[in-house]
Amino acid sequence: MMKNFEDMQKMSKDSMDATMKSFGSISKATQTIAAEFADYSKKSFEDSTKVMEKLLGAKSLDKAIEIQTDYAKTAYEGFVAQATKIGELYADLAKETYKPFEAYVVKATPAK
């Protein structure tokens, strides 16, 4: 009876340890993702401001269209790259969040 109680206590402790490690991973990854969003937003704003200045200084309609077209292409490529990076960060978040529970699940699963 005492052995079962000790096993239950150890399992509870292992579960709590895994949960705390998981929360730590979530916190760290969330901060990284938020920083990426902030950096991208800042860069995007700066780029659009530069383009607006160029547009205001354009001497012809053709030059304005060229500036806008270049900006649209660059903005799209930047967005796709950032979306890919954020997707990878979320995938890493999922892996790191689950990692502390891998060993716990193996221990808690009864052998066949």
Which residue has better confidence, 4 or 56?
56
0.75 exceeded by pTM: no
Q: pLDDT for 15-73, tens place per residue?
A: 788 888 888 888 899 999 999 999 999 999 999 999 999 999 999 999 999 999 999 99
> DSSP for 79-90?
HHHHHHHHHHHH
Residue among 76, 79, 77, 57 nearest 67 (CA): 57
CA angle 47–44–33, rounded 5-degree value: 150
